[in-house]
């Protein structure tokens, strides 16, 4: 299914020659809980084994939030680091991507705003599941390019271990907790976002959802997934959107320095890379150590890559995601952000 691109060239042409601001990731922040949930721990909780988990997912451990480490708490910690690295800038808007908010309302964005001591700017949540960070960036990019905002704080925070069913071995081994944040603005010096695509298809809403098991409609609600259907559809969607955002940016996949995908499952990532003819040494992976953190996974991977010195100014980066909805999204950008701790 085609995705609708946010055509930067078309926007520039429509301005009648006026220079359109280019959104950049100015800084990153991240937060991971201290508690580690290893495959050995999973073996004691559910009928599984380290070998089974690693062969099917590539995951060896994931982080688990302690009581009180809610998405807003973790998100505020990540956001504080990102804002400090951006020079303690006061954002014009706060966007939070989460599918595991601790309350129905107020929004996680408003709770984070409270914890940061900020006020007055719009703050709101979006739920595109694992595609949430790129969806959030697309909104930040549109606000900056239209001059509705100069700086936007985009946060992704998840406490997925609170909504999984630890009797369902096919899903509970996948998910972990964590948060990451990006300050998006116009820092100058070239680079920045080159192309974005976001899409959804509710016809496949039953692939990944929160609810009861199909065979037990009166049973407990938790995160549910159709494994085989999800794997196949995820590989198809993220391969397609990666090729499309590369084309929108005027890049060939061979020119991309780093692919930073949603860390859903190492086998999904490997299959998509093979279709794109991208060697795994150009793919940023941390799913083995943090598991699937849904919306937070891409910015967590970017933060880690920046901290290790792998990301350098001017490098071409493509990120892709697939999640419940179903949703999928792609992003092509040149790295301009400052290194992260």
Supply the residues annotated as catalytic: 130, 262, 292
Which residues are within 8 A (CB) of 195 and not within 5 positions of it... i.e. 6 or more apart?
A: 5, 6, 8, 245, 246, 248, 249, 330, 331, 332
Q: Which two tokens stand for residue 304?
A: 């880690």
199 neighbors 327 (Cβ within 8 angstroms): yes
Which residues are within 8 A (CB) of 76 and not within 5 positions of it... i.e. 6 or more apart?
A: 111, 112, 115, 116
192 neighbors 333 (Cβ within 8 angstroms): yes
Number of H helices, E strands in the chain: 11, 14
- What is the distance between the alpha carbons of residues 299 and 286, in angstroms, rounded to a whole number? 11
Beta pairing partners, 125: 96
Distances 224 to 70, 166, 244 between C-alpha atoms, Å: 21, 11, 30
- What is the distance between the alpha carbons of residues 187 and 17, in angstroms, rounded to a whole number? 21
Alpha carbons within 13 angstroms on the beta-carbon side of residue 216 total: 7
Q: Which is nearest to 285 in space by CA: 308, 301, 309?
A: 301
- What is the distance between the alpha carbons of residues 259 and 11, in angstroms, rounded to a whole number? 26
The DSSP H or E segment spanning 75 is: helix 71-85
- What is the distance between the alpha carbons of residues 341 and 339, in angstroms, rounded to a whole number? 7
Q: Which is nearest to 290 in space by CA: 282, 301, 306?
A: 301
CA 204 to chain centre: 20
């Amino acid at each position: 299914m085609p995705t609708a691109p946010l055509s930067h060239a078309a926007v520039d042409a429509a301005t009648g020659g006026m220079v359109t601001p280019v959104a950049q990731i100015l800084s990153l922040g991240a937060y991971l809980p201290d508690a580690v949930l290893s495959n050995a721990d999973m073996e004691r909780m559910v009928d599984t084994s380290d070998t089974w988990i690693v062969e099917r997912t590539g995951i060896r451990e994931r982080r688990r939030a302690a009581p009180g480490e809610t998405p807003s708490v973790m998100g505020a910690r990540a956001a504080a680091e990102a804002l400090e690295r951006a020079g303690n800038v006061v954002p014009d808007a706060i966007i939070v991507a989460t599918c595991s908010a601790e309350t129905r309302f107020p929004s996680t964005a408003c709770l984070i705003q409270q914890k940061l001591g900020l006020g007055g700017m719009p703050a709101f949540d979006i739920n595109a599941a694992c595609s949430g960070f790129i969806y959030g960036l697309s909104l930040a990019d549109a606000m900056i390019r239209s001059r509705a905002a100069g700086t936007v704080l985009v946060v992704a925070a998840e406490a997925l271990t609170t909504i999984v069913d630890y009797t369902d071995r096919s899903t509970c081994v996948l998910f972990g907790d964590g948060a990451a944040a990006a300050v998006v603005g116009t820092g100058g010096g070239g680079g920045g976002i080159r192309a974005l695509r976001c899409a959804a298809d509710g016809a496949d809403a039953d692939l990944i959802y929160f609810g009861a098991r199909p065979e037990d409609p009166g049973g407990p609600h938790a995160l549910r997934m159709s494994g085989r259907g999800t794997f196949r559809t995820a590989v198809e969607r993220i391969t397609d959107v990666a090729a499309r955002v590369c084309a929108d940016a005027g890049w060939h996949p061979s020119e991309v320095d780093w692919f930073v995908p949603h860390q859903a499952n190492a086998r999904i990532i490997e299959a998509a890379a093979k279709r794109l003819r991208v060697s795994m040494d150009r793919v940023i992976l941390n799913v083995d150590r943090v598991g699937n953190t849904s919306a937070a996974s891409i910015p967590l991977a970017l933060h880690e890559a920046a901290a290790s010195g792998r990301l350098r100014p001017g490098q071409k980066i493509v990120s892709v995601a697939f999640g419940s909805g179903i949703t999928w999204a792609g992003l092509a950008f040149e790295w301009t952000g400052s290194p992260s701790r």
